[in-house]
Chain A
Amino acid sequence: MIVNSRLHLFCTIGHRFTQRIWRLGAGARLFWLTIISSGESFRRFHLTIREVYFTGVMSLIIIVVSAFFVGMVLALQGYNTLQRYGSSEAIGVLVALALVRELGPVVTALLFAGRAGTAITAEIGLMKATEQLSAMEMMAVSPISRVIAPRFWAGVIAMPILNVLFCMVGILGGYLVAVPLIGVDAGAFWSQMQANVDWRLDILNGVIKSAVFGVACTMIALFEGYDAPPTAEGVSSATTRTVVTSSLAVLGLDFALTSFMISI
């Protein structure tokens, strides 16, 4: 009996592991199919525009509001530490670098996964459950080029835009706390920021990061939806997996990308 349960445990672990590998391969294949069949999403660009509206524009409010608060908190916390060393003017640099390098891309991607990724997964999972995707295939319309690819490119376009908006609004939030509320000199705030934030190394790298996160988050959401079991539970667990996998992927990718970018 004991041997049996141990064997069962062993089998379960092995099954889970092979499942993960299988899903990874299937995800990579879907990614490749999306890339090669994405011609239609540019020829009929209004398909992509529509998805940019649903993923990007609809995420604007949560991005802007959270960016504002993140910037304000950064300024408060930063001031608290910096004034001990008598360098409270460096608060602009702190807020800007923290937002542009790390918090902007990462928090935007996490919010995007929660706001837009889940919507994509649920939509496609439900399309699959109600056999709309099969119906498209019956009509010789490729669901990948008609449904998957426009959403993919919309996510890739929307994420960097959301990221720069997040950074800008966060910096404005930090400014509001640092200058009118705490009383740091406005000139020092901006000039120190400008002196220490580099256009290419900081801002452009942040945008590149967010584009990579955009690819990862959107692709994970699309794959989870496309791969979801066509049941109510299947769609719900796929939506959960989207958030978990996207968050982990974003944080892991962030480390990898940062280690590349810092060494340059």
Chain B
Amino acid sequence: MERTTIDLWVGIFVALGVAALLGLAMKVGNLTTDDIGEIYSVTANFENIGGLKPRAPVKSAGVVVGRVADITFDPATFEAVVNLSVDKRYHFPKDTFANIYTAGLLGEQYIGLEAGGDEVMLKSGDKITQTQDAVVLEKMISQFLYNKASEEPKETASAAVSASTKSGDDALGSSPLDDMKKPVAP
């Protein structure tokens, strides 16, 4: 079969396409950071996970050490069970603290691991007992409003009391004098 220039051009075209796809996969997409290699999985229970999603990063000291594998709901304890896939190269003590943080003010949520001081390390299938829930913005705002609301009535009440005592004093102080003056004057 003889080769033609058309074959050459189509070959170049296909090669360019494959190169662009590889470029998209490696440089643009997160295919490279996706495969962490060998992992072990630990679980953590949270009362509220906020907006945490599967495949969210698990970070320790800001370094990605794993990913959230899946999130399920435990109907017995009414808690969220988060399955974490952690890179096998990194080991964490048994009393590691798992927090749900938010990247930036409105960014994606991730799990931050803070290592404890235990001698025993977490093994595959273990459970992280010390967890801290996600900060839910609505909860924070409502708490703030509640605190504000509980402060305000005290102030207004004390102001009202002081005002009433003042007016009472005035009433008490002024009227007898007037009464005293009136009979005296004529």
Measured CB to CB, the residues of A under 8 A from B are: 46, 49-50, 52-53, 56-57, 60, 96, 100, 158, 160-162, 164-165, 167-169, 171, 190, 193-199, 202-203, 207
Q: How far, in whole Å, are A60 and B13 apart by their CA atoms in the complex?
A: 8
Residue of B10, B24, B25, B27 near A52 (CB, 8 A) is B10
Q: Does the CB pair A160–B17 fall under 8 Å?
A: yes
Shortest A208–chain B CB gap in Å is 13
**Residue of chain B at shortest CB distance from A162:** B17
**Residue of chain A at shortest CB distance from B33:** A194
Q: List 18 A-B contacts (CB under 8 A).
A: A49-B7, A50-B6, A53-B9, A60-B13, A60-B16, A100-B28, A160-B17, A161-B20, A162-B17, A164-B21, A167-B20, A168-B20, A190-B27, A194-B28, A194-B30, A199-B30, A202-B29, A203-B29
Interface size for chain B: under 10, 10 to 19, 20 to 34, or 35 or more residues?
20 to 34
Instruction: Produce 1/0 per residue, B21-49, CB < 8 A to A.
Output: 10111011111111000000000000000
Q: How far, in whole Å, are A112 and B166 apart by their CA atoms in the complex?
A: 86
B14 on interface, CB distance cutoff 8 Å: yes
Q: How far, in whole Å, are A80 and B41 apart by their CA atoms in the complex?
A: 43
**Residue of chain A at shortest CB distance from B55:** A198
What A residues does B17 contact at CB under 8 A? 160-162, 164-165
What B residues does A171 contact at CB under 8 A? 28
Q: Does the CB pair B13–A199 fall under 8 Å?
A: no
What B residues does A193 contact at CB under 8 A? 28
Q: Does the CB pair A164–B10 fall under 8 Å?
A: no
Given contacts A164-B20, A168-B20, A203 and B13 within 8 Å (CB-CB): no
Residue of B10, B25, B31, B32 near A53 (CB, 8 A) is B10
Given contacts A50-B6, A168-B23, A161 and B28 within 8 Å (CB-CB): no
Shortest A135–chain B CB gap in Å is 24
Known contacts A57-B10, A100-B28, then 8 further A-B pairs from the complex at CB < 8 Å, ordered by chain A residue = A53-B9, A158-B13, A160-B17, A162-B17, A164-B20, A194-B27, A199-B31, A203-B21
